[in-house]
Amino acid sequence: MSLRSKIVSTFKLHGLTLRSDASACMVEALEGLSTGDVKHWLEKFIEIIQKKPLKPGAISREVIEDVIEECGVGADSDDNNSFLVIDAFKVPKFVFNTDRKKFVPDHSKANIHSAAEDKAALFCERYTVLYQRTLRHELFTMPVLGSGETAPKYRLQPVEFLLSSSALLGNALVFGMVAQLKEGSYFLEDSTGSVEMDISQAEFHSGLFTENCFVLAEGVYEDRLFHVTALGFPPPEPATFSRSHLGNLNFFGGPSTTTCKASTQLAALEKENEEMSIVLLSEVWLDQSMVLDKLRVLFTGFAEAPPAAFVFCGNFCSMPCGPVYYEALKDGLKALADLICDYPSFEKTRFVFVPGPSDPGPGNILPRPALPTLFTEQICSKVPLATFTTNPCRLQYCTKEIAVFREDIMNKMCRNCIRLPSDDVDLPTHLVKTLESQAHLCPLPLHIRPVYWTQDHALHLYPLPDLVILADKYDPFTVKSQTGCTTVNPGSFARSDFQFKVYFPFKGDVQDSKIP
């Protein structure tokens, strides 16, 4: 059977008819692919077409072209998309529709000079993302039929359930946000109201609890006060489980509307490059000759096996920001460009630069724009694959999703904790548990770490990526959680004896490295 006949017959089996020019367009797109890949793409085409509002009659070429572009079929497309740098201001936004019980794209134009209601929407969106995720957890779902049980193990109650009760309520479990509406008093707040909490006798589970984080609070409601006995985070969810409910929607960003996890070509390309690596460095002070000398040693070591990318996180100068800083930064980037040009084997290696808190930019509000072109034009002219991006940003290598965040988040989270952990679990594990449970890179109060209200979705960690890079001044660490997400801190390259991390996407491994 010819490819064209196979396409037409497959569509007919699903009650769909193709015009001749539409079937010819599909033949052009699928020609040269293996039988298995043709079957895979046909199923994907039909799934997408069936969701579109089609006109009566045969399917036109225009519809097929839109679907092909949406899926990104073809080897050329996948080669171009094998490594992507995704600007925080271009991350797609999805909002949860409570009526349809699904996420829908929000195409409204974001404005950093937003209205007051956008601040409320920010917390409502965080709440709905975590609430719908929590309700899917086995502790809060109905048991399987035949198990003999008739109710879930735990039932979440809204705040208004407590407020509407005049009698004593014991063992109530409420999901909400911790807020300090009055000085010295903590409240639990959700979309239905707020209730004052007494947490003096509460048992805190693992994690770093700050204001504006979302928690599961269990306790007794009496005399208009919620006496909390246990305080914990909503359980995190593995990305594979999230996508089983979300489908192939691309929450991460990039040119395709479908997730890179669904691309067989990208998966094959990743397997062909099993030893490919990504080098991660933070606080690369380009105004210090010692740092440039160590970078030369680093580049020499990787010259024979060039990585897919070097990710450099700021700050890029050791001195405080000022007039002298600007000249030092320009000179440092120029010296780095000359150094890179000494290694022709890096011709296809990407160089990604993420600004730090002290680097020049318009205010210290997240997301932080890329370094101004005033400083970067020289290095970009000499190194065509140099990319200056936002903080945070996202990277995609084949089917691997990577979130990059340059922030001294450990210090700020500990400093603003309601109560510091007292157990033997190390702080990085507590931090990772917090970020995964909150599905957010920076769950701090907005007065501690300002965020553009309409761009808060760029800091979301939902579904969880494969790798989260927290470029922090804290000691280097690597934490692999049960969700399948790995969180690393490469540490300060300039301060910590030139330590860095090497990530191997195919294996998912992270290697600790150091230049002696």
Specify whether the CB–CB gap between 155 and 173 falls below 8 A: yes
- Confidence (pLDDT) at 49: 85
DSSP string across 185-234? EEEEEETTEEEEEE-TTPEE-SS--BTT-EEEEEEEEETTEEEEEEEEPP
User: Which of 249, 274, 294 corresponds to the end of one domain?
Assistant: 249
Quick one: DSSP state of residue 259? -
Mean pLDDT computed over 400-429: 93
SS3 417: strand
- Predicted pLDDT at 150: 58
Residues 6 or more apart from 373 whose CB is under 8 A from it?
Answer: 380
* DSSP SS3 for 287: coil
270 and 243 fall within a common domain: no
Whether residue 356 is found in the same domain as residue 388? yes
State which of 249, 276, 308 marks the end of a domain.
Answer: 249
Q: Do 274 and 179 share a structural domain?
A: no
User: Which residues have CB under 8 Å from 28's CB, separation 6+?
Assistant: none
Instruction: Give the pLDDT score at 75.
Output: 39
Q: Tokens 């000179």 correspond to what residue? A: 331
Residue 303 has pLDDT above 70, yes or no: yes
Residue 389's nearest CA partner among 349, 350, 446 is 350
Q: How confident is the model at residue 142 (pLDDT cuts 50, 70, 90)?
A: low
460 and 501 in a single domain? The answer is: yes
CATH of residue 38's domain is: 1.10.8.60
Residue found under tokens 């099993």: 274
Whether residue 291 contacts residue 503, with contact meaning beta carbons closer than 8 Å, is answered with no
Same domain, yes or no: 369 and 465? yes
Angle (nearest 5°) at CA 435 between 159 and 89: 100
**Residue 294 belongs to some domain of the structure:** yes
Q: Which of 325, 324, 410 is nearest to 371 (CA)?
A: 325
Confirm whether 116 is domain-assigned: yes
Determine the pLDDT at residue 144.
55
Q: Which of 134, 231, 217, 220 is nearest to 176 (CA)?
A: 217
Mean pLDDT across the stretch 406-425?
Answer: 91
Give yes or no for residue 391 having a pLDDT over 70: yes
Neighbours of 62 (CB within 10 A): 12
Q: Which percentage of the chain shows pLDDT scores above 90?
A: 68
400 and 280 together in one domain: yes
Question: Are residues 158 and 45 both part of a single domain?
Answer: no
| Cis-peptide, bond into residue 212, ω within 30° of zero | no
Question: In angstroms, rounded to a whole number, what is the distance separating the alpha carbons of residues 108 and 105?
Answer: 9
Residue 140 placed within a domain: yes
**Percent of the chain clearing pLDDT 70 (strictly above):** 95
**Tell me: the pLDDT tens digits for 85-106?**
999 999 999 999 888 888 998 8
Lowest pLDDT segment from 101-105, 382-386, 415-419, 457-461: 101-105
Lowest mean pLDDT among 96-105, 155-164, 298-307, 478-487: 96-105
Using alpha carbons, select from 347, 369, 348, 349 the residue that is nearest to residue 360. 369
Strongest mean pLDDT among 18-27, 52-61, 283-292: 283-292
Most distant CA pair in the chain: distance in Å?
Answer: 77
The model's pTM: 0.84
Q: Is the pLDDT of residue 35 over 80?
A: no
Whether 435 is covered by a domain: the verdict is: no
Predicted local confidence at residue 145, as pLDDT: 52
CATH number at residue 237: 2.40.50.140
Give a yes or no: residue 444 inside a domain.
no
Q: Is residue 88 part of a domain?
A: no
Does one domain contain both 245 and 287?
no
Looking at per-residue pLDDT, the higher value among 444 and 63 belongs to 444
Same domain membership, residue 477 and residue 400: yes
User: 484 is in which domain, residue-wise?
Assistant: 250-255+266-407+449-514
The Cα 267–Cα 270 span in angstroms is 5
Question: By C-alpha distance, which of 488, 64, 26 is closest to 280?
Answer: 488
According to the model, what pLDDT value does residue 457 have? 96
Domain end, chosen from 249, 276, 310, is at: 249
Is there a single domain that holds both residue 487 and residue 383?
Answer: yes
The partner residues of 210 in beta bridges, in order of sequence, read 417
Reported as a single tens digit per residue, the pLDDT across 43-62 is: 888 888 887 777 778 888 88
Residue 265 has pLDDT above 80, yes or no: yes
pLDDT score at 151: 66
Q: What is the pLDDT of residue 58?
A: 86
Name which residue leads in pLDDT, 215 or 142: 215
| Pairwise pLDDT comparison (485 vs 223), residue with the higher score | 485
- 20 and 49 in a common domain: yes
Distances from the Cα of 27 to the Cα of 7, 19, 50, 256, 265, angstroms: 8, 13, 20, 21, 18
pLDDT score at 78: 47
Mean pLDDT computed over 261-274: 92
Q: Take residue 338 and report the two structure tokens written for it.
A: 């000359």
Q: Which pLDDT score, from 0 to 100, does residue 256 have?
A: 83
Number of domains present in the structure of the chain: 3
Same domain? For 505 and 393 the reply is yes
Alpha-carbon distance of 198 to 180, in angstroms, equals 12
**Residue 77 pLDDT grade (very low, low, confident, very high; cuts 50, 70, 90):** very low
* 39 falls within a domain: yes
The β-bridge partners of 459 are: none
Tell me whether residue 413 is in a domain. no
Contact 402, 471 (CB under 8 A): no
Model pLDDT for residues 170-223, shown as the tens digit of each residue: 889 999 999 999 998 999 999 999 999 999 999 999 999 999 999 999 999 998
